Structure 1
Amino acid sequence: MTRRFPDLRFAFLEGGVGWGCQLFCDLIEHWERRGAKGMANMDPTKLDRPLLHELVDKYGYADIAAELDKRDGWPLKEDFLTGGMPPDDYIRCNITQKQDWIDLYATPYYFGCEADDRMNAVAFGKAMPLGARINAIYSSDIGHFDVVDMRDPLPEAFELVEDGHITESDFHDFVFGNAVRLWGTQNPRFFEGTAVAKEAAALMKRGAPSLRDAAR
């Protein structure tokens, strides 16, 4: 979807960003091992069939050895690993380079977060692969019954800065910049007539920071 519509933005609200960071890391780590390059290390055509047969004869059972004989030493039919598809778990995604993960995941997805969630800091931290910053957006529901004063959530979110977990620049993106990019990319006139129209227009004019160098 994000490849077909590169300017489309998606926001996942009320789920936090922790899971989005974990998913981003998992996708890349699995791709490195189970993408075309990683799977080449497990190419079934590289199987040492004589050695396999020797080990089965020595340690296995006669019926297993007989089955190997039927298939010229192959443990299963030739396409047993991939079902006839090329050995690449990500072939449908057409992932060919690290930058694809930035373009298809880190750029278009946004994650709504509660103010008091410490996992918000992970989105801006150095733990993210490829130098990526996951788009966390401040979206506390100030109408919740447990919010005694509607003015409290924002200062509570700023505690991540006070405690040294994120920078003031990160906080700006969290409470303003990322939200502007989310809505402004879809509709450049979204903030016209609002109190932040000038600031939003200036931010959109600057554009999002490039992560291409980090992804190489």
Structure 2
Amino acid sequence: MTTRLPRLKSSRSAAVKARLDHPVIDTDVHVNDYTPALEDYVQHYGGSALVDALRKSLGGRFATRSAAGKDWYQQTPEERQHHRTLRAPWWARVTRNTLDLATYTLPELLAERLAEQGADYSILFPNDVLAPAAASDEFRQPLHRAINHFHADVWKKHAHRLTPVAGIPLNTPQEGIEELEFAVKTLGLKVINIAGGVRRPIPSIAEKYPKAEHPDVARHASYTDFYGIDSPHDYDPFWAKVVELGVPVTTHYGSQGWTGRQSTSNYMFNHIGHFADGSQAFAKALFFGGVTRRFPQLRVALLEGGADWGSHVYTHLVDRFEKRNRHAIQNYNPAHADIELLAALFEEYGGELTKGRPVDKATLLRDSLGVSALPHSRDPVGDELDDFLAAGIQSVEDIRERWVKPFYFGAEADDRTVAAAFNTKVNPLGTQINAIWSSDIGHWDVPDLTEPLAESWDLVEQGVISAEDFRSLVFSNPYRFYTEANPDFFRGTDIAAKVSDQSQVQGG
């Protein structure tokens, strides 16, 4: 006879949930894959070669290696310095709390414990979905297809309360479209996760140092294509397909290994703030590249970086637009300087600087601007003057429409900086940023899955956010994110049964 192991029947979060008059939607739950079961699917799609590619992709997601092929843990401190080998994440999963470890791996157990977590509905990010984007061209698409198929089958039974995301590769728009259509039309998945950028070789360097002959040069001499601006590809067909299929887009895009996040010894040095920085680059590319203008129905959730950065970028966009819009930029045009006035002021006040030397009007403007502002070979002209042109920004209200409306920002439970999202006194035009509750359970920052909802309610009791802000965070904003992309997103789910009064979703 099988003996059921004792499990929690109540929790702080369950107690908080019992007091609420609205559902709770968790936008970011990380689950583990039972390797033998996953590899059966991978084997089906590509045989042992694809299984090997999966293992290499997962094992090398963050790993960096020396020219001798040794990873960080195989190198001496001196070798790490010599090769500048990045200290990668380590011990990133819950283990001591073995019940939670099993919960993240066993669908039946997670479904059973959802009430302890305090959530009515959760979006699942299988950790393996986040990995194979860096796989080789030969294996990238079949790996994504196999992994997505596995998750669609494993979680189908619990679709009324749990839904996994589909991982979509985006090295080219076409591969993204192909895997998007397979995931949505064939597998029935309804949320996608993409990397916020793709590393590409710098053409001028790649021509001089071909990858086959100079792999170390190729590994370091690259740039990141964020899809929306300065890309060698036109990604509009992909965004159009996303909107056509009504799919919310999510990303867990980090910046470990970027300049300023390259410690060879300290993971925390590389980690703090890296999701915010990575997502910021991706979101700004969509904004300045005009993607959010051309596709106003597009909805993108930027997870694990917090919501405060969404607020401060919005504020900085407004500040900079007011100073450097197409018309205001003329305040800094050298052609508008009054050389006669400048010379007269030098004559009256500049004796100590000129020391009796005659002032040359022909070079006076250049000399006054200083060495750091020496003129370019030519001045920018026409559209080069307007950094906001592609975004179509002509007013602060346009910025609100194309930054605040399409983007949603994942805020973890204990993140006090979420208050910035709701600060209408600071955010331009009295705007709230779309913060969405993202427990991040399954990762090291959540040692107990029963705590996150209660931790977020603690912020209410501490006066960090209001009860109405909390409602927006855990329900109204997540609900709007998914249903603005797809009005039928929650059809047939527990959420649909609980949201009979549409006034519940107002606010936020």
**Aligned in 2, Cα 1:12/1:40: closer, same or farther, shift over 3 Å?**
same
Within 5 Å, give how 1:42-191 maps onto structure 2.
42-54=332-344, 55=346, 59-60=353-354, 65=360, 67-68=362-363, 80=379, 83-85=380-382, 87-126=385-424, 127-145=426-444, 147-191=446-490
- Cα distance in 1 for partners of 2:308, 2:420 equals 7
Name the residue aligned to 2:324: 34
Contact 1:180 1:200 in 2 (8 A): no
Give 1 or 2 for the bigger CA radius of gyration.
Answer: 2
2:398 maps to amino acid: D
Structure 2 unaligned regions, length at least 5? 1-290, 365-373
Instruction: Give the alignment partner of residue 21 of structure 1, picking from 311, 328, 340.
Output: 311
Q: Does 1:7 align with 2:297?
A: yes
The alpha-carbon deviation at position 39 of structure 1 amounts to: 2.4
Query: Relative to structure 2, which stretch is displaced further, 86-95 or 29-38?
Result: 86-95
Match of 2:231 in 1: none
2:305 and 2:326 map into 1 onto residues whose CA distance is 32
Matched-pair identity in %: 37
Q: Matched residues in 1 for 2:506 and 2:396: separation?
A: 18
The amino acid that maps onto 2:460 is: V
SS for the counterpart of 1:105 is helix
Equivalent position of 1:213 in the other structure: none
Structure 1 runs not aligned, ≥5 long: 70-74, 211-216
For 2:505 and 2:457, the matched residues in 1 are separated by 24
Question: Which one scores higher on RCO, CA 8 angstroms, separation ≥ 6?
Answer: 1
Distance 1:78 1:140, change over 3 A: same
How many corresponding residue pairs? 202
**1:47 alignment partner AA:** A
* Contact 1:35 1:91 (C-alpha < 8 Å) held by counterparts: no
Distance between the aligned counterparts of 2:399 and 2:506, measured in 1?
A: 16
TM-score (norm 1): 0.79
1:171-200 CA deviation, whole Å, 9 max, x = no partner? 111011111111111111111111111445
CA distance in 2, matches of 1:167, 1:187: 29
* Secondary structure at the counterpart of residue 39 of structure 1: helix
The amino acid across from 1:188 in the alignment is: P
In structure 1, how many angstroms separate the alpha carbons of the residues matched to 2:500 and 2:325?
40
* Contact 2:436/2:478 (<8 A) preserved: yes
Larger CA deviation: 12-21 vs 41-50 = 41-50
State the 1:165 CA deviation.
Answer: 2.1
- Mapped to 2, the partners of 1:77 and 1:162 lie a distance apart of 56
Matched AA of 1:138: W
CA contact (8 A) 2:421 2:434 kept: yes
Counterpart code for 1:21: S
Query: Which stretch has the larger CA shift, 104-113 or 29-38?
Result: 29-38
Q: Aligned Cα RMSD in Å? A: 3.1
Residue 93 of structure 1 aligns to a residue whose secondary structure is: coil
Q: Which shifted more, 116-125 or 38-47?
A: 38-47
For residues 52 and 76 of structure 1, what CA distance do their matches in structure 2 show?
A: 18
